[in-house]
Structure 1
Amino acid sequence: MLTNTYEEAIVVEASLTNELKNQQIKITKTSRFEDTSIKVETGAEVIVKDDQNNSYLFEEKSGVYVSQTIFQILSGRQYTLTIKTKDGNVYESSHETLTTVSPIQSVVPSVVTNKDNQTGIQINVNSYDPTRTSKYYRFEYEESYKIIAPRWSLSKLIVTGPQSVELIPNPSNTRTCYTTKNSTDIILLNTNDLNEDRVNLPIRFIEENNYIIGHRYSILVKQYVENLAAYNFHKTMRDIASSASVLSPKQPGVLSGNIKCISDSNVKVIGYFDVATVSEQRIFFNYTDLFPGRPSPYFNTCEDIPFKFCFDGEDCNAESMIYNVERNFMTYFSNAGSSYILVDAVCGDCTSFSSNVKPSFWID
């Protein structure tokens, strides 16, 4: 089914913070619902200025606009975003000032049973602003976890000919892997209805049998303090958007933000230029820390599948074994003579679905 009506607009995702770093701005175009990819707005001139005559130029790198120099958003200054696209349109944001700094106090995991009667680990983020000037919060998290292939073997089976195989030493770097994923939901909280400007937010629940906590798990939580207008914009986005991305270009209608096309008032733009303080905290925990004495969960049952390596006879299935080994569908676990035991590749080689590169922040 094709979209009958379609109005192209640029989509701006700009959240600059008080972190001293290369700030990033993402500029894309709206897509038809039947489109399978997101179109990046290339060749734009992007600049952020403050009221002290400082200018920060952004350059395009891998579909994202990155500041040429590191800088941070400072308290008491006004910042404006200007974008000139290659079609000549000029877009400008309202003047924005930095919000209150409110540090995260703690990120705490605990074993709970939720309202759906599921037992698991609830991760809460806590903060407190005694001045009651923060009020509007947005959260993101990045979770990383260690994976150990449960049916890894010291030996690896390789195909050496049309009807021959050989066992060789299995590289140890296929046993332990690490996966990192970012949150995709828009997570918001305001404390207006509370007696204190205090955050105690359940930000992530993981069921007890989820393999991602089976060995060692880490979560980095980021807390952004926003102004009311930015909070309301993200709240509207959350209400109408899917959780496919934090700011999805595939939206019904046009959402009004604080960015306008000043060269042509008829040109639409979606997005918000947000300057916010950010605080972050990372924690680690092992499965045994919270579920002592229990076996680690894994996402695959890891069934042992027998193969008899012969080519003639009713019980022979060497051709099937070679097929699965050559295509990395299965890996070797053990053998007794010509009888081999294989397992699904995800059970014997974690690099089949994850990375064996340990993250720089990882602490065992």
Structure 2
Amino acid sequence: MRTARNRNFDLTRLAADIKAWGRELGFQRIGIADTELGAAESYLLNWLDRGRHGEMSYMKSHGTRRSQPQEILSGTVRVISARLDYLPDQAADSEAVMRDPQRGFISRYALGRDYHKLLRTRLHKLATRIESCVGPFQYRAFSDSAPVLEKALAEKAGLGWIGKHTNLIDKEAGSWFFLGELYTDLPLPVDAAADNHCGSCHACLDICPTQAIVAPYELDARRCISYLTIELRGSIPEELRPLMGNRIYGCDDCQLVCPWNRFAQPTSEPDFAPRHGLDTPELINLFSWTEEEFLKKTEGSAIRRIGYECWLRNIAVALGNAPKDAAIIGALKTRRDHASGLVREHVAWALGRHAAPSSLPRE
């Protein structure tokens, strides 16, 4: 196939057009980076060697595919990085939900439609627009859907800097956004990397419930509530369970406390609006869902990926962290003989918490 590299066109103009087309498609910002990720690769390999990826064995099995884009798509010379804001303005106040132990907290990115397909579809539309201008070219779209160092690439593309909590921060928009990428063989001009503006702030390190941010810019996933509630498929370490409070899917604490998020703007995407009242759900109600209800009410949601068993596991921990209450104890007892040993274990732990008054007050 003849590629766009063989055609004569103004690459600087094309880069500007790509950014304009991206905004027309609903992206808040587009940046362009080269593929040199040496420093990020060293960081990643050191992080893996320390075992901080926990049971996410796939991260190690990918080798250098994350840091060498050409291993994913041969001929890649540039990465078009895209930002899509997701903070829903209709959602209940996060801190108010976390202060109510009768309710469950779900990370705000997961309240609406699963972003993976939406973001990739939009990236494909952008690629089609480029193709209509320059002719056939090589590309591949990603949205947390392959081994890609998306934050390092976005930082190089000028979309923000990687903060001390290891999330990407834009000084004009905070961190409540998704990232997506187009790998391409188009030799576009690259953008300047973003400067770091964390300064002496350490609010994210101080707020982390499980102290998973072990040092500035260093996250131990094995302690992170997002890992424990989403990625981990087995038993949650007992010493970490009391620290999880009522967080049943992900954790936003480090973003909520970040001073740069005072500049964040609510998303205009209707697909990211909360569904089924999951922005402020009652734990007992969630715990009563049958598997069929779980599958129905998480259809099209990122939450479904953890499965029903881990869903009950997470809620059992939250119920164990709630103040002693007859209704909560009654709800837990309905799952005491659940078919899943994983669920039974966490229910037994939760019931044990309520049988030990000295463990109160709870998170």
TM norm. shorter chain > 0.5: no
- Larger strand percent: 1
TM-score by length of 2: 0.22
Name which one, 1 or 2, has greater alpha-carbon Rg: 1
TM-score by length of 1: 0.22
